[in-house]
Structure 1
Amino acid sequence: MPDSALPPAAVPKATLLTPFTYSLFRAIWIAGLVSNVGTWMQNVAGVWLVTTLTTSALLVALMQTATSLPAFLLSMPAGAMADMIDRRKLLLFTQGFMAIVATILGVLTLSGGISAFGVLGFTFLLGMGAALNAPIWQTVTTELVPRPVLPFAITLNGVSNNIARAIGPAIGGAIIAYYSSGWVFILNGVSFLGTWAVVFFWKREAAETSGPAENFMGALRAGMRYVQYSPAIYGVLVRTFAFSFGAAAMWGLVSVVIARKLHLSSGHYGVMLSWLGAGAVTGAFLMGRAGSRLNFNQRVLLGVLAFAGTNLALALITQIYILYAVMFLSGIAWLMVMTSFSTTVQLSVPKWVQARVISVYMLVFQAGLSVGSLAWGELADHLSLDTSLLIAAGWMLASALLAVPFPMLSAEGLDLAPAEHWPDPTVEGGDIDPDDGPVVVMVEYCVEPANWPAFREAAEQLKRLRLRDGALRAGVFSDLARPTHITEFFYVATWGEHQRQHHRFTKEDLAVETQVRRFHCGPGEPRVTHFLAFPNTSNVEMATPLQNLESQR
């Protein structure tokens, strides 16, 4: 058995360094670190090249748009594809695609055949590759280490990005100064090849498929539906947007603080970002020690309060060395919050929908940063820089109150393996086409009147699970002639979708269904009946047009 497949019982108490004992994770982490450094080098070289090729400030500003816009357009489609297609093959495609694009950009730059618009176009293509790659990369980690080790593996992924953030721009700037941006682009292209090679030699076990295959649009709808009817995920998304919106003030305005308020050089700005990265790396080791003392909810709350302090410090403090210390603490808080969000999401969803939910999470996070940057920048222009930062600090303090209505529930003990306990329904007259439908499923219970309030509460939880896993409608009805006879129904679009429901129901969900069935007082188990739309008939009542009525008289 490969070391990455060891069962949780065989894994000793995890520490921050435990993920490195799994050879595949170690190889992918190292390759990912090199690739991240290349990406940060590319960011610096791309912006600098556009700056030298044009006098238009708009084209320079559009570099950020070219990088982030693909994430808005492709995050959710990428998540759907990652859940439908072999993730190893998708990684090979995305890493190879980005290597080719970066290399071509480098060759064109060295030959003098690139324009500012050309750099924007190639940057957009690289952004597309990154947007397609991101949900896959996040979910692959769950296959490389056991569940108890996953929080530390996700933390180390954050460390990788922050190490690259700290050294990538410096390396890229040095190469630009002594050679050319073109060489930076080519090195970035080469950096993707390491990850491509590691993934190529990864002998990934084929994922088991249960039920009919989903189509692309159906997979997208299933992912959105899962988020809509999962309170734990919905709560994380609300708090993610609130945090990223407030934190955008620091990311968007720190350069303005350095240049316009403190009247310092771009070198000080680079040092500020380096202190931020160093804080994030340090935070990883601190979290390793504090992991058993603070839950994810407490970590996020501390991080939110720390960022409120960051915005206050940028507004009120003018001593650069004190601000360096503030940025160091901000790096700790940033890593603490982001790994808590990401780990909670990944631990709270089953594998069949994991990439789709992560893509929604990433989309919400990017939306918070983008909208926040615009909002705080506008406030800084119309009011003042300090006022904008003070309001952002107030936003962060207010967002801390979201911990009350949207607490981050522990997901470490959830058993999200498929329950596979529903028997296949008896079908007379041959197989049913998966596209046939709609389907109505009825489950009949006998419940004593004294138990109705408790049964209703438990049935409401089960209804949410039915809707989350594919039902379009669901409800509970009582027989007017026999009030103790209660029928639960749920309505599914197709027979194939109902078959997928069977395999989406997890062992954790089984506890909810068991609670509902505990109130059944009839002989035997509750009776389950499946109804399929009668062939060649309309199942929607349609009003007869008035002109048709007139012609029939």
Structure 2
Amino acid sequence: MRDSSPGASLDTGATLWSPFTYSLFRAIWIASVVSNIGTWMQNVAGVWLVTTMTTSALLVALMQTATSLPAFLLSMPAGAMADLIDRRKLLLLTQGFMGMVAFGLGALTLMNQISALGVLAFTFLLGIGGAINAPVWQTVTTELVPRPVLPSAITLNGVSNNIARAIGPAVGGVIIAYYSPGWVFLLNGFSFLGTYVVIYTWKRSEDVTSGPAENFTGALRAGLRYVQYSPTIYAVLFRTFAFAFGASAMWGLLSVVVDRKLHLSSGTYGVMLSWLGAGAITGALLMGRAGNRLNFNQRVLLGSLGFVGTNIGLALITQAYWLYPVMFMSGLAWLMVMTSFSTSVQLHVPKWVQARVVSMYMLVFQAGLSIGSIVWGELVDRVSLEHSLLGAAVWMLLSMALAIPFPMRSAEGLDLAPAEHWPDPAVQGSIDPDDGPVMIMIQYEVAAADLPAFRQAAARLTRLRLRDGALRAGVFIDVAHPTRITEFYSVATWGEHQRQHHRFTREDQVVEAQVRQFHTGAEAPRVTHFLAFPKTPNIEVATPFETMEGQQ
């Protein structure tokens, strides 16, 4: 058996099944399959129960919104919490909460004390638990397997959900048909308890923090700032929203298609979702064999084209047996796109901010689903089901053009481990981590002929300074000595600058080296730190400065 530590070595020729050689990943993956089966049974039961309780397509579509809206509201705070506190404890809290909510919904349903709005309310509560749970659950994978195996592990996480999608809806549909949705809700509660037990037995190593601890508000700002100055990340976010908005028509209106267009039962709805899950599992197997032949851009474009066909098929096909292969291809396209988005985000982000960036990705994704469900559901009530689905197909086709301004880049070869190559600055006396603002200046001597190339390299470094915590950054030229260049960046507090030391990655170090290669001085570039004097609030104001020289 392989070591379960993510630091264990692995051949670069990892296969789809390589993550299963890590015992901890295997145990948590099995628990997630069981929990996801319960969740999909819950989804089918909840949507079908509301469908039979109301004649409003908008109210049915709001079931998707009730699931997605909490993620829209809570993803960013949840991501900050996941980066700041023990992830195991947070998972125990969320799994226990969702189990209690599911048991409550099941009991009320069996006693016939629930309404359509009540189902929406309980679904919203489950969505709250899921919103807090999701960022930490996704980022835990990076602690269970080494980086070369991570793409396969993320794909297997998608397989877990789609195995559940293939099994859960069918089982849930049978229980609904012969018994009551209440029993489905109770079984979902037990599935959360099973996951709780597995997480409880996980002996997670304590995080070793570098530099002063972040507070909650500062952590949120740091996450937003990281995304703002990371073109690769916000390219994924733009593409994710566009895809989720168009794909939400299928998720929000499938039950309406089955009930009002095909005039069939909940069992058929469950079978439709099972075909979708089977397609996703097949997609994972195909990606395991041939995925390396397609880059992220190509996978997303191909998957988006598949969903164009999905929406057209749901709008025009009137026989259920012709929709089964459509749903199969939808599942394949869904897994191809979603694993591409998720893998791209996680492989381009260092550990210190990973949960926050993943939470923003999930926020954008859920926003697309939530807003899209409302738009397409309202369009059904105002126009027709067919026109709503065809409109979603047109949207999806147009959104493919975003690949031109927002291409998704490869993460192959990126080294995001902390560089830890900056020595602590030499200071006289003690400095409180909350003291600030702080100004850092680095002086270079650059030959006149190299100034254009230096400017380009320095611009890339400036973006990294801003991404990692600088309030302002830039480059100045000495008007009396044009070959003397000063790079500056200001930071809110001394503690924040200390955290910058540990955020700088080995990949960033390459950019820094490209800048420093233009330095022609006999000694290394001179680095000077300035602290606001006297102590001032942590804002940029015009005050005298106290100079403290040292090494960056």
- The reply to whether TM is greater than 0.5 is yes
For 1:51 and 1:162, the matched residues in 2 are separated by: 23
Aligned to 1:454: 453
- Counterpart secondary structure, 1:5: coil
8 Å Cα contact 1:441-1:529 kept in structure 2 = yes
8 Å Cα contact 2:69-2:367 kept in structure 1 = no
1:375 correspondence with 2:375: yes
Aligned to 1:41: 41
- Counterpart secondary structure, 2:314: helix
CA deviation profile, 1:118-156 (whole Å, cap 9, x unmatched)? 544433322211111000100001111111111111111
1:302: Cα distance to partner? 1.1
- Counterpart secondary structure, 1:440: strand
For 2:313 and 2:92, the matched residues in 1 are separated by: 44
1:197: Cα distance to partner? 1.5
CA RMSD of aligned residues (A): 2.5
Unaligned residue ranges in structure 2 (runs of 5+): 544-552
1:304: Cα distance to partner? 1.4
Aligned to 2:469: 470
1:156 correspondence with 2:156: yes
8 Å Cα contact 2:169-2:271 kept in structure 1 = no
CA deviation profile, 1:246-269 (whole Å, cap 9, x unmatched)? 222333344444444455555433
CA deviation profile, 1:376-435 (whole Å, cap 9, x unmatched)? 33444445444443343332222222222222111132100000111111111x221011
1:4: Cα distance to partner? 2.5
For 1:391 and 1:176, the matched residues in 2 are separated by: 32
1:168 correspondence with 2:168: yes
Shift of the 256–98 alpha-carbon distance from structure 1 to 2, 3 Å rule, reads closer
Shift of the 379–188 alpha-carbon distance from structure 1 to 2, 3 Å rule, reads closer
- Counterpart secondary structure, 1:474: strand
8 Å Cα contact 2:434-2:493 kept in structure 1 = yes
The aligned length equals 541
8 Å Cα contact 1:451-1:519 kept in structure 2 = yes
Amino acid at match of 1:540: V
Shift of the 177–332 alpha-carbon distance from structure 1 to 2, 3 Å rule, reads closer
Amino acid at match of 2:133: N
Moved more, 473-482 or 368-377: 368-377
- Counterpart secondary structure, 1:10: coil
1:74 correspondence with 2:89: no
Moved more, 461-470 or 161-170: 161-170
Shift of the 150–226 alpha-carbon distance from structure 1 to 2, 3 Å rule, reads same
Shift of the 403–46 alpha-carbon distance from structure 1 to 2, 3 Å rule, reads closer
- Counterpart secondary structure, 2:529: strand
For 1:397 and 1:63, the matched residues in 2 are separated by: 26
Shift of the 149–131 alpha-carbon distance from structure 1 to 2, 3 Å rule, reads same
8 Å Cα contact 1:4-1:146 kept in structure 2 = no
- Counterpart secondary structure, 2:441: strand
Aligned to 1:227: 227
- Counterpart secondary structure, 2:4: helix
- Counterpart secondary structure, 1:476: strand
For 2:434 and 2:95, the matched residues in 1 are separated by: 36
Q: What is the correspondence of 1:182-331 to structure 2 with a 5 Å cutoff?
A: 182-331=182-331
Aligned to 1:547: none
Aligned to 2:362: 362
1:32 correspondence with 2:32: yes
- Counterpart secondary structure, 1:352: helix
Aligned to 1:546: none
- Counterpart secondary structure, 1:519: coil
For 1:157 and 1:191, the matched residues in 2 are separated by: 17
Shift of the 482–534 alpha-carbon distance from structure 1 to 2, 3 Å rule, reads same
1:49: Cα distance to partner? 5.4
1:50: Cα distance to partner? 5.8
Aligned to 1:551: none
Amino acid at match of 1:368: G
Aligned to 2:408: 408
Aligned to 2:521: 522
- Counterpart secondary structure, 1:291: helix
For 1:394 and 1:106, the matched residues in 2 are separated by: 40
Aligned to 1:550: none
For 2:369 and 2:54, the matched residues in 1 are separated by: 27
Aligned to 1:393: 393
1:202: Cα distance to partner? 1.3
Shift of the 62–93 alpha-carbon distance from structure 1 to 2, 3 Å rule, reads same
8 Å Cα contact 1:438-1:533 kept in structure 2 = yes
1:503: Cα distance to partner? 0.5
1:245: Cα distance to partner? 1.5
For 2:59 and 2:78, the matched residues in 1 are separated by: 28
1:9: Cα distance to partner? 4.4
For 1:181 and 1:242, the matched residues in 2 are separated by: 34
Moved more, 187-196 or 71-80: 187-196
- Counterpart secondary structure, 1:302: helix
8 Å Cα contact 2:280-2:331 kept in structure 1 = yes
- Counterpart secondary structure, 1:3: coil
Shift of the 24–241 alpha-carbon distance from structure 1 to 2, 3 Å rule, reads same
Amino acid at match of 1:236: V
Aligned to 1:549: none
Aligned to 2:541: 540
Shift of the 511–40 alpha-carbon distance from structure 1 to 2, 3 Å rule, reads same
1:209: Cα distance to partner? 0.4
For 1:45 and 1:266, the matched residues in 2 are separated by: 9
1:55: Cα distance to partner? 8.8
Shift of the 150–389 alpha-carbon distance from structure 1 to 2, 3 Å rule, reads same
Moved more, 301-310 or 408-417: 301-310
- Counterpart secondary structure, 1:488: strand
For 1:522 and 1:442, the matched residues in 2 are separated by: 16
Moved more, 269-278 or 359-368: 269-278
Amino acid at match of 1:10: L
8 Å Cα contact 1:444-1:486 kept in structure 2 = yes
Amino acid at match of 1:442: M
- Counterpart secondary structure, 1:78: helix
1:527: Cα distance to partner? 0.5
- Counterpart secondary structure, 1:210: coil
8 Å Cα contact 2:154-2:339 kept in structure 1 = yes
